[in-house]
Amino acid sequence: MTIATVILAAGLGKRMKSKRAKVLHAIAGRPMILYSVETARRLPSDKILVVVAHQAEAVKQVLERQPTQIIHQGRPLGTGHAVLQTQSALANFPGPVLILNADVPLITVETIQSMLKTHQDRGDELTLLTATFSNPKGYGRVIRNPDGDLISIVEEADATPAQRALREVNTGFYVANAPFLFSALKELTSDNSQQEYYLTDIVQIAVRQGLKSGAVQAPDSEEVTGINTQADLARIERAVRRRIAERHLSEGVTLLDPPSAWIDADVTIGRDTLIYPNVHLEGASRIGEDCVIHSHTRINNCRLGTAVTVMDSCVLTESVLEEGATVGPFAHLRAGTVLHKGAKIGNFVEVKKTEMGEGSKANHLTYLGDAAIGKEVNIGAGTITCNYDGVNKHQTIIEDHVFVGSDTQLIAPVRVGRGAVIGAGSTITRDVPPDSLAVGRARQEIKKGWARRRKKAKGKDKEEIVKSRKE
Ligand code: UD1
Ligand code: CA
């Protein structure tokens, strides 16, 4: 059976009290809307239609590489009005239409499949997914007759106190046959407390027309929890994070404290990697096998090879760390950093757009920006690449086997040739030829006996002062 899937994503989400459209808020680093799209992609969806209105351009951008068709709602006048906009896109579509609310991201494919199966087996025109909530606040209530047949859905804002006491809710997932769906949608009115065209009114329309409709109960309440407020979002975020941590544990990753491992949805981690408490792995980071990542470290969109060690309190962004590289503690790797095999970046070192060759080291207190550093180079403590002249950025090139003494400033553009040595405390302004020594600092002067003479002179001063006071 093929279906058409319609994802409702046009609302602003007033109850979020945010400037950003609700479906653009991230859950585990991934925009909310992508959760529904992924569910749709894992079902036999012949077409995936996403209805947008608020911040449509931004939503479209998020969906750029997804196999979705965008449907504009113009003004979002309600969920029923939203589905009606898909009519021409679905003209002549023979199969059933699945409708998803984009603000219910945790729904599982299995639950929807059981809904589709029931719909088909029973030959109904309309099938709903309902759930029983201990606290049904904010949801539409499912009204049934004494025999248990569906009668209607009543939104909380329109419900009587007796209806509000009902705990069976509408979860926002529907399967409907296209001809029935679009004929029912044309009958909707906005004659309700919110003056919206409610999709939920198609239930009573089916009943009135004597068409068969039914409901499937969701197996657990978490997967059908909708996000209407920031508090809902925080709760769902936690649930998603828990699922992600469980997945990594099941794939052989060691998380010393799963609840504090903050791992985004698209991150991959190799087995036998050890993650200490309070580590953030963000974006599309790829972490290899046998890595060790210590506490209070944030890794955003990086690629780590096998057996990379990141010590405590590091920030790594858009960088590549090859096998056996070591970073930190307290290091900052900014975008464009590449550490080749076994390279080492130590304490209080900042690196930007710089390549460190195999086995090269910058162990302490250093800034490396716009540099290309060869193999087995030693960068002494306190080295600074002066890459910015106030107007432009310039490159520093350090070839293989160079030794840069501590407290060196390399004024870019500058090249240090293979095997050269730079004396500590140098300011290097000109290229250094291979295998040579460069020293660029004031020559040391020695004045013998100077310190002793000064001490004596001071002593004299004191005696004189004491004497003058006595007099
Ligand atoms: C809706 C249901 C309610 C159900 C709940 C489940 C209606 C009238 N009510 O209520 O019965 O219990 O979901 O979570 O359907 N949207 C549009 N266009 C619009 C309005 C909304 O695309 O004009 C989208 C929103 O972006 C959102 C979804 O539809 O993704 C649901 O809208 P929302 O306003 O959150 O509906 P609820 O009040 O939660
Ligand atoms: Ca909602």
**pLDDT tens per residue across span 347-361:** 999 999 999 999 999
- Region of residue 228 (phi > 0: left; psi between -120 and 50: alpha; otherwise: beta): alpha
pLDDT at 261 over 70: yes
Please check whether residue 251 lies inside any domain of the structure: no
**Predicted local distance difference test score (pLDDT) of residue 466:** 65
Which one, of 35, 171, 169, lies nearest residue 109 by Cα? 35
- Span 159-183, mean pLDDT? 97
Residue pLDDT, tens place only, 270-305: 999 999 999 999 999 999 999 999 999 999 999 999
| Helix (H) / strand (E) containing 37 | helix 32-41
* CATH code assigned at 178: 3.90.550.10
**Predicted local distance difference test score (pLDDT) of residue 22:** 97
Q: Do 71 and 204 fall into the same domain? A: yes
Which one, of 237, 230, 195, lies nearest residue 19 by Cα? 230
Residues with Cβ within 6 A of ligand 1?
A: 8-11, 51, 73, 76-79, 81-82, 101-104, 139-140, 153, 155, 169-172, 198-200, 226, 228
| Helix (H) / strand (E) containing 39 | helix 32-41
Please check whether residue 229 lies inside any domain of the structure: no
**Predicted local distance difference test score (pLDDT) of residue 170:** 98
Please state, rounded to an integer, the average pLDDT across all residues of the chain. Answer: 96
Q: Do 69 and 197 fall into the same domain? A: yes
- Span 213-241, mean pLDDT? 95
Which one, of 147, 157, 199, lies nearest residue 175 by Cα? 199
**Predicted local distance difference test score (pLDDT) of residue 462:** 67
**Predicted local distance difference test score (pLDDT) of residue 413:** 98
- Rg of the chain (C-alpha set): 33
Residue 136 CB: number of other CB atoms within 10 A? 20
Q: Which domain holds residue 353?
A: 311-438
Selecting among 72, 119, 280, 364, the annotated active-site residue is: 364
Nearest C-alpha to atom 16 of ligand 1 is from which residue?
11
Please check whether residue 189 lies inside any domain of the structure: yes
**Predicted local distance difference test score (pLDDT) of residue 157:** 96
Please check whether residue 326 lies inside any domain of the structure: yes
- Span 60-65, mean pLDDT? 97
How many domains would you assign to the chain?
Answer: 2
Q: Do 188 and 334 fall into the same domain? A: no
**Nearest listed ligand to the Cα of residue 23:** 1
Q: Do 25 and 151 fall into the same domain? A: yes
Burial of 457 by CB count in 10 Å (0-12 exposed, 13-18 middle, 19+ buried)? exposed
Q: Do 216 and 342 fall into the same domain? A: no
Q: Do 52 and 194 fall into the same domain? A: yes
- Span 48-61, mean pLDDT? 97
Residue pLDDT, tens place only, 387-446: 999 999 999 999 999 999 999 999 999 999 999 999 999 999 999 999 999 999 999 999
- Span 338-348, mean pLDDT? 98
How many Å from the N-terminal Cα to the C-terminal Cα in the chain? 114
The span from the CA of 402 to the CA of 433, in Å, is 11
Q: Which residues contact 465 (CB under 8 A, 6 or more apart)?
A: none
**Predicted local distance difference test score (pLDDT) of residue 319:** 98
364 tagged catalytic: yes
Residue at token pair 């750029």: 64
Task: Please report, rounded to a whole number, the percentage of residues in the chain having pLDDT higher than 90.
Answer: 95
- Span 217-224, mean pLDDT? 93
Which atom of ligand 1 is closest in space to residue 228's alpha carbon? 35
**What is the distance in A from the centroid of ligand 2 to the CA of 226?**
5
Please check whether residue 263 lies inside any domain of the structure: no
Indicate the SS3 state at residue 329: coil
Task: Please tell me the least confidently modeled range out of 17-21, 43-47, 93-97, 103-107.
Answer: 93-97
- Span 159-184, mean pLDDT? 97
Q: For residues 67-93, b (16+ Cβ closer than 10 Å) or e, as one string? A: ebeebebeebbbbbbbbbbbeeebeeb
**What is the distance in A from the centroid of ligand 1 to the CA of 9?**
9
Last residue of a domain, one of 189, 224, 259: 224
Which atom of ligand 1 is closest in space to residue 82's alpha carbon? 18
pLDDT at 318 over 90: yes
Higher pLDDT, 84 or 465: 84
**What is the distance in A from the centroid of ligand 1 to the CA of 244?**
27
**Nearest listed ligand to the Cα of residue 138:** 1
**Main-chain dihedrals φ then ψ at residue 419, nearest 5 degrees:** 75, 5
- Span 156-180, mean pLDDT? 97
**Predicted local distance difference test score (pLDDT) of residue 453:** 95
Strands 168-177 and 126-132, by their bridges, are: antiparallel
* CATH code assigned at 430: 2.160.10.10
For residue 467, what pLDDT band results from cuts at 50, 70 and 90?
A: confident
* C-alpha distances out from residue 245 to 147, 222, 278, 280, 409, Å: 44, 17, 13, 12, 45
pLDDT at 458 over 90: no
Cβ pair 196, 77 in contact under 8 A = yes
For residue 468, what pLDDT band results from cuts at 50, 70 and 90?
A: low
Which atom of ligand 1 is closest in space to residue 224's alpha carbon? 14
Q: Do 175 and 45 fall into the same domain? A: yes
**Predicted local distance difference test score (pLDDT) of residue 465:** 61
